[in-house]
């Protein structure tokens, strides 16, 4: 039995994993899909002080509170930074890091460093009336859609899950200075349909930090694959050692 901890990306909520959770749980695994502070069912907690460090504390706090070990820690999109920094704090509890169409940072990098297009969102937020709110990205024509979602029913549901994010989430940097972090196996899952213009995916090195060959899988769908291709995503996650 594994412990799957699914961490959503920017603007989303833990509910976005609704179609994946039962598929993993059916195999007898424990599955956690929390909403990060200030988002989803915790949107009332949003404020300018909420940042990347807040979300890292959310994840580490859950792992410690539940005394989880052998954790398959999945970070989608922005949450690639969150899970990286969380694993840096408790590497002995992490069985696998999964970067799901995610930002993959180096030590000392922010979201804006990993994904430069994010800088424009930061600038807009700083110039806005609030000075810190970052609204969800706009819907684009297919196949990009809204985070890769184009089906009308799925779009209607997704819109109910989205809320503003604090600019501090994109400004704060990750701390990846624990030597034990390098030993944690990594898997990268890339969604390859409808990638918006300006979004850049860093190439994955041939070898993981632990010296073993990198594992990269692709899903022929848009960014929010947990909504558009939940069965295929769950099958990949269940294949992890």
pLDDT in tens, 25-47: 999 999 999 999 999 999 999 99
pLDDT surpasses 90 at 197: no
pLDDT surpasses 90 at 149: yes
**Residue 112: strand pairing partners:** none
130 is catalytic: no
High-pLDDT (> 70) share of the chain, %: 100
Assign 228 a pLDDT band (cuts: 50, 70, 90): very high
The span from the CA of 106 to the CA of 84, in Å, is 9
Catalytic residue among 13, 77, 110, 163: 77
The span from the CA of 52 to the CA of 50, in Å, is 7
Burial-class residue 203 by CB neighbours within 10 Å (0-12, 13-18, 19+).
exposed
Q: What is the mean pLDDT of residues 114-134?
A: 96
């Amino acid at each position: 039995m594994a412990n799957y901890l699914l961490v959503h990306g920017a603007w989303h909520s833990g509910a976005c994993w609704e179609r994946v959770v039962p598929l993993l749980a059916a195999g007898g695994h424990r599955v956690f899909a929390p909403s990060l502070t200030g988002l989803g069912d915790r949107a009332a907690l949003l404020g300018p002080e909420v940042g990347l460090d807040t979300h890292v504390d959310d994840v580490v706090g859950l792992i410690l509170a539940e005394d989880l070990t052998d954790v398959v820690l999945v970070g989608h999109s922005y949450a690639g930074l969150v899970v990286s920094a969380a694993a840096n704090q408790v590497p002995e509890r992490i069985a696998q890091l999964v970067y799901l169409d995610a930002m993959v940072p180096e030590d000392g990098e922010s979201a804006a460093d990993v994904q430069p297009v994010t800088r424009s969102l930061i600038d807009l937020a700083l110039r806005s009336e609030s000075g810190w709110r970052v609204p969800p990205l706009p819907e684009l024509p297919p196949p990009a859609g809204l985070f890769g979602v184009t089906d009308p029913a799925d779009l209607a549901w997704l819109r109910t899950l989205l809320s503003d994010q604090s600019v501090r989430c994109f400004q704060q940097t990750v701390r990846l200075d624990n030597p034990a972090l390098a030993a944690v196996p990594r898997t990268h899952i890339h969604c390859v349909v409808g990638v918006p213009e300006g979004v850049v995916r860093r190439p994955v090195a041939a070898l993981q930090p632990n010296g073993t060959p990198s594992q990269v899988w692709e899903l022929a769908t848009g960014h929010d694959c947990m909504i558009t291709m939940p069965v295929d995503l769950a099958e990949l996650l269940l294949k992890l050692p």
